Structure 1
Amino acid sequence: MNNKKDLATAMNTTSHRHSLTQLFTRHLIHASMPGLMPSAPASRRPESPGKLPAALVERLLQQEDQRGMRGHGLPIATFSAPQPAPHRAATYSYPIHIERADIDALPSAGGVYVFMGANDMPLYVGRSVNLRSRVLAHLHNHEEELLVRQTRRIEFRRTAGELGAALMEHSLVQDLQPAHNKKSRQKRCLFTLRLNLVGQPKVAQVAERDFSRAENLFGIFASERAAQEALQKLVERHALCSIATGLEESSGEGVACFGRQIRRCRGACTGEESHELHQERLMQALEDLRILPWPYEGPMGIIEQGEGWQQVHVIDHWRYLGTLDQEHQQLLPRPAASLKGFDLASYKLVIKPFLLGQLDLRPLPGLTLPSKV
């Protein structure tokens, strides 16, 4: 149907008596003040005239321009799209309540920072290779508005490198328990793989402090199920026998395991591979998971240097105890729970560069260990 006729019908008029602009104006007046315009009888009134589509309105106005029919003192309709609510970033203001001296003191160097709230409550601990840039990014991030609003001052401590920053950040999160850092559950008992008397790897529960002392432990797992799944994947990856490794019970001598039936086992169960060769391959596969016991008599210092800064990170039984440098000649006191035996996070941070020979390790005779708080 012709659009002009539709428009005329909707406004109870005929198209040949009025210009399109007049028709459109009448429609707007009728929509906003229906009492001022005559209405069509119910029999002639369309059931639901609805609103004119924006594309139709634009096309009608263009036609009026082409015919020279716009003007004559008639109002011209204008349209404005609804404006979205201002984004939070547009209304964010700089946190003037934080001590300016703390911000000005931030260096463009690596280290660890702590956001402190009212009554010196720790709110957030972080690390960065550029302390100033990272902290300012926090302060200008509208998504961290709650953290910034609660912050009263900012502390920082420089580090000579990324290893020291990672160790220090972990220890501060562990000791201070800041409100805005992700909470990590402290597991006192973990699971590992340990060889039994016949050389089969079995899942065993071990106290966390024992990982730095016990021999022949392979892998650290949060649950028994995780350890069992890791063993299963290791057997499949290295084409080991699930019967010889104890994952599957044998139904008789020389009976093939499931892996052999689908050609994923080299035949230790059927005698096609000798027990000695299979055991050798098993130990090679487990070697990547081996937990290295602490190989020293006492604490050792990891020397780290960078940007004219030298620090000594003190490690004992794979637990980070603190850092010594030109500003800190003694280890700071720490909670008693932070000074006990093996620490999984410290171990993960240190073990790879240790095995690669990348650490400058030195004994620390006469070192006074940190006191407990």
Structure 2
Amino acid sequence: MRQFPFSVPRREFLALTGAAAVTAGCGSAAGRDGVPATTIRYQGWAGTVTPAELAEDLGYLDGLTLEWVGNTTSGPQDLQAAASGDVDFGGAFNGAVVKMAAAKAPVKAVISYYGVDAKRFNGFYVLRDSPLRHARDLVGAKVGMNTLGAHSEAMLDTYLKREGVGSGEAAKVERIALPPVNTEQALRKGRIEVAVLGDLMRDKALERGGIRPLFDDHQLLGSFSAGTYVMADRYLDRHPRVARRFVTGVGRALEWARRTPREKVVARMVRIVKRRDRSEDTGPLRYWQSYGVAGTGGRIAPRELATWARWLEQRGDIKTDRVRIEDIYTNAFNRNPSTRNPRSPQR
């Protein structure tokens, strides 16, 4: 998955999410520095077309304009930028969203933007001749992943617990933060025993051969939305109509991508990246398969946040009952139908 393209140590992850509550009141959102209300500021990802960018290109944002202010370095950093008012929305793994809520950051999740399905998932891979075959074999092994304290570590903990590995033994599984571009190489050179690979990195590694999967997050939990866009409470209070147009447009784009033949989606993404002229490589886009969002139009299901609230409580990262799930998210700004219409026209 591309939600965390660079390595962010667990301590930095917790600091970012905890600091958001402190910085939320001192950002630039109050005055917006003359930016019109119809302009939505955001951070992007190099070589990637986000659902928001696709929505704008499709004309689904109903007169709103996106203003790219740069690329983010991680999901938690993007959330912090939204909380502080440096951007108008940010997105990350739902566990990070829960962490921010526990820190009492005045933000709310408004729409899912990525997830896990049969086409888009993270796999935990070992070398073909590796002796590691079962969960208990991971005790003492090194597992490389892009960000600690986030999606991949949550999947690892869930897998170990489900397979009966106790907390004491699970703590002996060494989790190592590595940039995705280096993870496969680290596996092949024996610096780690398990590599978490997704999307482009997974498919390229599989093309080269010599590796096999232990498990993947789709096998583990099925299809589910894993990350959400959040907006600051004060933004939603001041610009509810803009938020409604934005969220509804992103939801329409998610459905367009779901029902449109993959080659047409990829072709459109390539045109978008070339047109914005940021010296980006369009090659990785040919590996795009799905945004993986489970809910129709990006609607958020409470269990998609509750799962990670329990995980964070079990880790001791947040206190029990620190968050009320119903206070973390809202579908009120999403005007997309709650069920899909398979005959809806393509744009």
Q: Same fold (TM over 0.5)?
A: no
Task: Compare relative contact order (CA 8 Å, sep 6+) and give the higher one, 1 or 2.
Answer: 2
Relative to its length, the structure with more helix (as a share) is: 2
